[in-house]
Chain A
Amino acid sequence: MTEGFYPWGGEFTICAPQGCIAVVLLNIQYTPPESVAIYGPLKTENIGIEKIIANTISNPWIRFLILCGDDIRGHRSGSSLVALHKNGIDHNHRIINAPGAIPYIENLNIEAIKRFQAQLTIVDLMGETQKEKIDGIIAEYIHKAPPSFGEPFIAIRIKPQTTVTLTDNRALHSRILIDYLGKVKKRGE
């Protein structure tokens, strides 16, 4: 069911395929309920944010992005993610008004960022670390049960590459083989 979702691998856990919530963990040891779509930590204000965008917009059922825990010192990744959602990026690919040290978006195009802004609503719980409170807010947003945003948006595609070694036999015919030196022989010899 989640095949095709979450194209950019990383440190996250997949739960309910049609869950409407993604949870971003900031400096917090917390396991969200299984009813969320996906959760994982955010560390860096550049590639970390890009992975969250690419993966959340690949699943149109995700409509809320809940940030909890304490923002990352120096990186300010959580606040930079909120700034991206609010302000977008400038011509230099820097997140506008982001407090992080190097909040640059280099792997995603502007359409992906616009889709992220349109599909997701940010629920900023930064500073909140109590499990009961976070669980309660997650339950509240799950209860809203918004519709899917439509088609998945695949912002980045990682394509398996087949590698062939020089010792491979290459099939040219059902009864013959030719090796890498061009030597022809019958199959099965």
Chain B
Amino acid sequence: MKDREIPLIKAKKTAEKDVILDSQGFFVIDVDSKTIRVEYYSNVYKDKRIVSGILQKVFTGTKADALSDTIASHAPPLRPEHYLYLGRELQKAQLAFDQQKKYIQGGC
């Protein structure tokens, strides 16, 4: 049997200036004492740049997995890195919620 060569790829964070914004929109995550709240906005463009968003849907829950599944089935298809970012942030949001600590949404 011939040896298979599997690529081993070292992780590298994309610089903020190189992040491609999702044309499908963006999410704003808030945590209070009762819930994690995720607002989904479609982009508003002026002169070909994103300047704001139109609120399209609001998701609430207390668990990152439930919010992830629900968002995936109710939001339009996102860029893969956007899904991964959202998963990371929702997990951070759940941690803050569970420990009743302040959550500040991070950048991508």
B30 and A106 within 8 A (CB): no
Would you give the 0/1 interface string for B49-64, flagging 1 where the beta carbon is closer than 8 Å to chain A? 0011111001000000
A10 and B46 within 8 A (CB): no
Cβ contacts under 8 Å, A11 to chain B: 30, 32
Q: Is A125 an interface residue (CB 8 A)?
A: no
Q: A9-B30, A47-B28 are in contact. Are A106 and B58 (CB under 8 A)?
A: no
Q: A9-B30, A10-B30 are in contact. Are A104 and B37 (CB under 8 A)?
A: no
Cβ contacts under 8 Å, B46 to chain A: 92, 94, 102, 104
User: Residues of A with Cβ closer than 8 Å to B?
Assistant: 9-11, 46-47, 92, 94, 102, 104-107, 156, 158
A107 and B37 within 8 A (CB): no
The answer, among A9, A94, A102, for a CB contact under 8 Å with B37, is A9
Cβ contacts under 8 Å, A94 to chain B: 46
Report the minimal beta-carbon distance from A164 to chain B, rounded to whole angstroms: 13
Would you give the 0/1 interface string for B23-57, flagging 1 where the beta carbon is closer than 8 Å to chain A? 00000101010000100010010100001111100
Of all A-B residue pairs in the complex, the 4 with the closest CB atoms, nearest first, are A46-B52, A102-B51, A104-B52, A106-B52
For chain B, the count of residues having a C-beta within 8 Å of the partner chain is 13
Number of A-B contacts (CB under 8 A): 33
Report the minimal beta-carbon distance from A43 to chain B, rounded to whole angstroms: 10
Cβ contacts under 8 Å, A106 to chain B: 44, 52-54
Report the minimal beta-carbon distance from A108 to chain B, rounded to whole angstroms: 10
Chain B minimum-CB-distance residue to A105:
B52
Cβ contacts under 8 Å, B44 to chain A: 104, 106
Beyond the given A9-B30, A94-B46, A106-B44, please list 9 additional residue pairs across the A-B interface where CB-CB is below 8 A: A9-B58, A10-B30, A46-B52, A46-B53, A47-B41, A47-B52, A47-B53, A102-B46, A102-B51
